[in-house]
Amino acid sequence: MKVTIVGCSGSFPGPDSPASCYLVEAEGFRLLLDLGSGSLGALQRHIDLYDVDAICLSHLHADHCLDICGYHVVRTYGPAAPYPRIPVYAPADAPRRLAAAYGMPEEPGLETAFEFRPLSPGRFTVGPFEVTAGLVNHPVEAYGFRVSHGGRTLAYSGDTGECAELVKLADGADLMLCEASFVEGPDLIPGLHMTGRQAAEHAAKAKAGRLVLTHLVPWNDSARVLEEASCGAFGGPIELARSGAVYDLT
């Protein structure tokens, strides 16, 4: 399984990265975890625009899903259109919400390009991957994902505050992509996002192999986020996500 960080900027695109988008590949199958603001552009550095086989959307905040609108244009009007519909696993409200974001009537909405499949907690198969979705701690319906293939596992937090379910999703994962949107301070908002320290605590509890801090907010000092994570209980390697970074989990 190969994991490419397409976008890792938190809540909005930054100067060096789009918002959330991760490309997971195995056996020629290409799965996207999130397709946030700006990520459709950077995605084209890594794969052909038409080669996406499936998409999982962690939740319906703009920085995780909004480039679905642009991608509908690609698959509906591209040179060899129409391209086959691809599955989009997302919260049940996605068809209505994303059609509204595009400015399209609910019928047919974006269904001409995408086959929306409502997420619920549990395990399902996407191409060669076994995916587990778990509800995480965010103000809207939001999922974290565990993606396994060939005995190796990726865990992705999506957006979440401290969350026992995330520890389960990341149990023994080779690579944990965990959000670290906040820096430590007296007024941390609960149930929204985590700091580097909290991300490291979750990775330690899950006994993950490697921690990559993501959803990095441009106004934060990312060196401080890394430092706060490094002071925590996690003994494995920790690094900051970077658009274009590739992890080979084989």
Please list the helix, strand and coil fractions of the chain in percent, rounded to the nearest 5, in that order.
Answer: 25, 30, 45
Question: Minimum Å distance from CB 159 to Zn ion?
Answer: 4
Measure Cα distances from 7 to 120, 141, 232, 249 in Å: 25, 21, 25, 19
User: Which lies closer to Zn ion via its Cβ, residue 197 or residue 215?
Assistant: 215
Give whichever of 89 and 249 is closer to Zn ion, judged by the CB atom.
89
Q: In terms of CB distance, is 61 or 75 closer to Zn ion?
A: 61
Show the tokens assigned to 169: 């999703």
For helices 68-77 and 94-102, angle between their N-to-C axes, nearest 10 degrees: 80
Q: Which is nearer to Zn ion, 63 or 228 (CB)?
A: 63
- Applying CB under 5 A, the span of 44-52, 82-90, 152-160, 198-206 interacting with Zn ion comes to 152-160
Minimal distance in Å, beta carbon 91 to Zn ion?
12
- In this complex, which beta carbon is closest to Zn ion, that of residue 99 or of residue 216? 216
* 159 sits near Zn ion (criterion: CB under 5 A): yes
Beta bridge partners of 5: 22
Residue of 12, 61, 71, 80 lying closest to 41 (CA atoms): 71
Within 10 A of 179 (CB to CB), how many other CB atoms are there?
A: 32
Q: Binding to Zn ion by residue 34, rule CB under 5 A?
A: no
Q: How far is CA 195 from CA 18, 94, 127, in A?
A: 20, 28, 33
- Contacts of Zn ion in 43-62 (CB under 5 A): 61
| Angle between helical axes of 222-230 and 196-206 (0-180°, round to 10) | 40
Q: Evaluate whether 239 touches 226 at the Cβ level (below 8 Å).
A: yes
Rounded to a whole number of angstroms, the minimum distance from the CB of residue 213 to Zn ion is 14
Q: How many residues bind Zn ion (CB under 5 A)?
A: 3
Find the shortest distance in angstroms from Cβ 158 to Zn ion: 8
CA distance 52 to 24: 10
> Which C-beta is closer to Zn ion: that of 192 or that of 204?
192
Closest contact distance (angstroms) between CB of 235 and Zn ion is 28
197 binds Zn ion (CB under 5 A): no
Binding residue for Zn ion, selected from 25, 34, 63, 162, defined by CB under 5 A: 63
Instruction: Give least dist CB 215 to Zn ion, A.
Output: 6
Binding residues vs Zn ion (CB under 5 A): 61, 63, 159
